[in-house]
Structure 1
């Protein structure tokens, strides 16, 4: 595949602990029942604007209160990032190999663009990527295909030569909805059983396998 689109959380970076700790802390701050780490992992990769409501479906928030909850999460997450968010082992070498072999690399993430860029710069992998789409750049969140469609249009990418790589079912659903190939990675949020149920074109269990896409 010439064009490789990556999810960020759970695919390029191990951010599960940060998301779980920040979510639980924010919920505690607002006297809400803390979701389990399993529940939080299930919603990993879906923007918090959507996932938080799903984790507390019976709670009636005013828009102001809900925005305050989201902002509290962001504060906790930023405080934890530098010590908790790390690259998936081997991913830097894999990205380097892909780039050296002429692949064009992108990111489609549920993180806001500014947050993504802060993490890419800190982790030292920003230079590998041609472009990235954050949640603030799309009208509809994952698993809607908006982020991929923006890149296909912006760079005139051939869908048949483009693959979406992700660790969660909604990454694969997004890829299929956009008409590109899909590759599941098994080191992130969702189980192999869940990933296989989406029938990805590839199932990668190690980072070097990504060089074979």
Structure 2
């Protein structure tokens, strides 16, 4: 595995840095319970967490964008999620040594997510990551969301690091597309939610890693 000549790391949030699936799935199951439907296992929701409300509603109630009641149900889902989004969500255990190593090496790192600021900012603060991350760029920070490169370029600008000296780590095809478009090195996180689309090996990332610890080897920090 070749090492990456970079000086800063950007992470996707859900499925890469944190495991938010229990609370997102929990909001979906709350909607089912309110309608007298049986609860579904976390494994039913988990692959679609990266798709946000759209994915969760598809799994919970089999509704999709364009359906007559989709927007009303989406608003209900988001309200339920906002009320519980810090209940079970945690930093992936294996990410803690990675963040500690970045701190010890004085490498800046940040978060670039398509999740709206309304949810991302309080969640990052609640998990204690706001004290560590050099920047947080959300889905509504720039005029475009991933796979557009604008959010990643904004994060690099805020950290005062050239995009070519950054690596972006994410668990979705859009992360790889955005990173490549921004001129960054890309790492696909195979421990993430991944969705039900193309296989991770076909995304075109510079590297695919099975665990966070492998990132430290890529960065020559382990």
- The TM-score bracket by the shorter chain reads 0.7 to 0.9
Render the CA deviation track for 1:73-121: whole Å, top value 9, x for unaligned. Answer: 2222133333321111121221011121121101001222242222222
Q: How does 1:26-41 map to 2 (within 5 A)?
A: 26=31, 41=46
Render the CA deviation track for 1:27-72: whole Å, top value 9, x for unaligned. Answer: 78699xx9997785555334547986996144145xxx72x43332
1:83 aligns to 2:83 (yes or no): no
Give 1:134's aligned residue.
Answer: 138
TM-score (normalizing by structure 2): 0.77
How many residues align? The count is 207
Q: How does 1:85-100 map to 2 (within 5 A)?
A: 85-100=89-104
The answer for unaligned runs of 5 or more in structure 1 is none
Contact 2:19–2:92, Cα closer than 8 Å, also in 1: yes
SS in 2 for 1:72: helix
Q: How does 1:59-74 map to 2 (within 5 A)?
A: 59-60=67-68, 66=71, 68-74=72-78
Give 2:7's aligned residue.
Answer: 2
Contact 2:13–2:111, Cα closer than 8 Å, also in 1: yes
Render the CA deviation track for 1:132-159: whole Å, top value 9, x for unaligned. Answer: 1111212222222221021233444222
The answer for unaligned runs of 5 or more in structure 2 is 1-5
Return the match for 1:150 from 146, 151, 154: 154
Structure 1 residues 84, 30: CA separation in 2 closer, same or farther (over 3 Å shift)? same
Measured after TM superposition, the shift of residue 129 of structure 1 is 0.7
Give 1:187's aligned residue.
Answer: 191
More helix by share: 1
Structure 1 residues 110, 178: CA separation in 2 closer, same or farther (over 3 Å shift)? same
Superposed CA RMSD: 3.2
1:112 aligns to 2:135 (yes or no): no
Return the match for 1:125 from 122, 129, 135: 129
